[in-house]
Structure 1
Amino acid sequence: MSTADRIAALRSEGEAAVSSATGTAELEEVRVRFLGRKAELPNLLRDVGKLPPDERGPVGKGANEARKAIEAAVEARRAELEAAELEARLAADVVDVTLPGSPAVPAGHHHVITAVRREIEDVFLGLGFRVAEGPEADLVYYNFDALNFLSNHPTRLEADTFYLADDIVLRTHTSPMQVRAMELQPPPIYIIVPGRTYRRDNDATHTPQFHQVEGLAVDEDVTLGDLQGTLLSFARAIFGDERDVRLRPHFFPFTEPSVEVDVSCFNCTHGFLRDGGRCPLCKGTGWIEILGAGMVDPNVFGYVREHGYDPDRIQGFAFGMGIERIAFLKHRVPDLRMFYENDLRMLEQFG
């Protein structure tokens, strides 16, 4: 067999072997057998110089074409085999992304403040109130003026309140929604307004940002007794069925009469612990202050009279509580700032 015929035969054998390879490892063996340093085809190329001059050109050209053809066939087959192997691996290693990771990541839960807020909302929704929300940056008009705050009231000072402009503040309470809500609908109205509020305070019982729930009920023949009954239902839902509430006279610019609301202490009996010591939670009084409230001042209705709030025809009550304070009492947290320090040892107790 002539050298040219042998080259043609090697090319045919190599391409056939490549096409029949069933894996990348087998394909590599074929490549080495036909194109490796000791393979016949490369040796023929190296020995071209030993041939008669008239055979060198055709033999060299044929050997190069055979080598390139086998190399191209190897690369094409390798791409086919790698694609098939990848497809097989993907089919065999399907990952269900809906399954938990390994190791499993503990499920998250609401922050204690969010959990208490939702618990408060659920109580008042059950009492027939609806939830409303308002802007955190509000006009001085809604935050102070329309709520009957005198022009020289201390909370208007920059030492107490964050001003964004002369007539815009970060709301100091969620009470601005009283007037905003009454502007949007005529009576009757029964709403609670949860949300963030801001004041220049920072100590064990105050934080610059905190959360409040404002309540407003306006209808005909609403009385202070209705307020007391509503808050009694709230206190028993949050702190236990044995709780009682009492109202003490107080002053707020936007309610008249105004009251502080206390709940009977859930840590002691009449101010004393079982060992006879004075209760540190209620300081021996048997009562714990939880919120401020009162009957809506007629002056506030004066700002929304044209919306159907005639103070000679309707009455209402309002109340405001700090969500942190409710959580503080419910879960016996000693310092409000702990709610915001993001210490997981503390937060994971309330999952």
Structure 2
Amino acid sequence: MQIPQDLIETAKLELRSVNTQAEFFQLRARFLGKKSFIHKSFQKLKDLDPSEKASIAKDLNELKNNLNKLFENSLRDIDINGSRDNIDVSLPEDLYDLGSEHPISKILNKVIEYFIPLNFQIFSGNEIETDYYNFEALNFSENHPARQMHDTFYLKSNIKSNRDFLLRTHTSNTQIHCMLKETMPLYMLSPGRVYRCDSDNTHLPMFTQIEGLVVDEEVTFGDLKGLLIDFLENFFNQKMEVRFRPSYFPFTEPSAEVDIKFGKKGWLEILGCGMIHPNVLNGCNVNTKKFRGFAFGMGIERLAMLYYGVDDIRDFYSSNLDFLNQFKP
């Protein structure tokens, strides 16, 4: 077997014309890859006479080592000095479809940003809840319509319990957990997903809600009104016509629906609120002779529809990029 003496010089000569790493690795494969002279020669060693096999193997190993060093040094030179590519600055840049914050997340964060400077703390609650925390502790009667199967998603469970498990229908369950665990006074926000058996262009079976609760000394309905009016004017960044309509919620008394006058649409319901019912406070071992409180809750999708002028709530979850891209900063 004859080993070409000029293989190293040939490799050096061809390396001078290499401009990119891609060209480098192609050339390296020619001299050291599976189809190279070196690789094929090692495969032929088994057919040689033992008397010449040792010396030829030694020469091949020496040649292979020298080629490896040559290519390693050349690659280092390319890495240090950068690719020798000629960059065509006239070519269009690659376009990347970057994600962005979802409009519902934007609105939720906008709401939270208003209340945090007022010393409200954020608490997360259970999405899978017992009937007690979702209904009973909030003063819902046994025959209340909201407890029926057509309004609430009840769950089958292997857990031995005398309580029914369900997907919470509001974030109000969190206020019960907090009042049982936290010391008073308490200023809390509870954002999260809630679930109801309802679906049309303004309702979804899953939506985002945020609940606010204040328990302190000498809290009044006037404090609640002032807080919510200021919040709405801050949120929409304009003076708002706001009205409080008497309403009924089992966990507040008195209760009110809050409407805003919104352009040509007229009066629109925006949230519900009220003073916390004494039965709820007593059930959470709150000293009602010293403390009282108020609560309010709003749907984030509802706020987002008004803020962005969206007519169909289902658009927010349609995964339609044309729709979602309009909310990019």
- The match for 1:138 among 125, 129, 141 is 129
The answer to whether residue 139 in structure 2 is matched with residue 148 in structure 1 is yes
Q: Does the CA contact (< 8 Å) of 1:231 and 1:245 recur in 2?
A: no
Deviations 1:152-171 (A, max 9, x none): 11111222111224521111
| Equivalent in the alignment of 2:279 | 299
Unaligned runs of 5+ in 1: 1-6, 30-34, 36-59, 95-101, 268-278
Deviations 1:102-150 (A, max 9, x none): 5152543210000000000001113332211111111211100100000
Question: Secondary structure of 2:224's partner?
Answer: helix
Q: Which amino acid aligns with 2:193?
A: R
Question: What is the distance in 2 between the residues matched to 1:168 and 1:90?
Answer: 62
Question: What is the TM-score normalised by the length of structure 2?
Answer: 0.78
Distance 1:146 1:63, change over 3 A: closer
Distance 1:67 1:253, change over 3 A: same
Question: What is the distance in 1 between the residues matched to 2:127 and 2:13?
Answer: 65
Distance 1:88 1:73, change over 3 A: same
The answer to whether residue 189 in structure 2 is matched with residue 192 in structure 1 is yes
Q: Which amino acid aligns with 2:107?
A: V
Question: Secondary structure of 1:241's partner?
Answer: coil
- Which structure 2 residues correspond to residues 73-222 of structure 1 after superposition, within 5 A? 73-93=62-82, 103-165=94-156, 167-222=164-219
How far off its partner does 1:260 sit?
0.3
| Equivalent in the alignment of 1:330 | 307
Question: What is the distance in 2 between the residues matched to 1:128 and 1:244?
Answer: 27
Q: Does the CA contact (< 8 Å) of 2:216 and 2:292 recur in 1?
A: yes
Distance 1:203 1:64, change over 3 A: same
Question: Secondary structure of 1:88's partner?
Answer: helix
Question: What is the distance in 2 between the residues matched to 1:147 and 1:217?
Answer: 15
Question: Secondary structure of 2:191's partner?
Answer: strand
Question: What is the distance in 1 between the residues matched to 2:130 and 2:82?
Answer: 59
Question: What is the distance in 2 between the residues matched to 1:77 and 1:21?
Answer: 13
Q: Does the CA contact (< 8 Å) of 2:127 and 2:193 recur in 1?
A: yes
Question: What is the distance in 2 between the residues matched to 1:137 and 1:336?
Answer: 24
Q: Does the CA contact (< 8 Å) of 1:24 and 1:78 recur in 2?
A: no
Structure 1 runs, 4 residues or longer, greater than 4 Å off: 17-22, 24-29, 60-69
Identity of aligned residues (%): 39
How far off its partner does 1:189 sit?
0.7
Q: Which amino acid aligns with 1:251?
A: Y
Unaligned runs of 5+ in 2: 16-27, 32-36, 38-48, 84-92, 157-162
The answer to whether residue 236 in structure 2 is matched with residue 259 in structure 1 is no
Question: What is the distance in 2 between the residues matched to 1:253 and 1:199?
Answer: 18
Question: Secondary structure of 1:150's partner?
Answer: coil
Q: Which amino acid aligns with 1:335?
A: D
How far off its partner does 1:179 sit?
1.0
Number of equivalent positions: 285
- The match for 1:71 among 55, 60, 66 is 60
How far off its partner does 1:90 sit?
3.2
Question: What is the distance in 2 between the residues matched to 1:158 and 1:329?
Answer: 31
Question: What is the distance in 2 between the residues matched to 1:86 and 1:153?
Answer: 77
Question: Secondary structure of 2:208's partner?
Answer: strand
How far off its partner does 1:213 sit?
0.5
Q: Does the CA contact (< 8 Å) of 1:196 and 1:210 recur in 2?
A: yes
| Equivalent in the alignment of 2:290 | 313
Question: What is the distance in 1 between the residues matched to 2:223 and 2:53?
Answer: 102
- Report the aligned-residue RMSD: 2.8
Task: Tell which deviates more after alignment, 166-175 or 327-336.
Answer: 166-175
How far off its partner does 1:24 sit?
7.6
Question: What is the TM-score normalised by the length of structure 1?
Answer: 0.74
Question: What is the distance in 1 between the residues matched to 2:170 and 2:187?
Answer: 18
Distance 1:182 1:91, change over 3 A: same
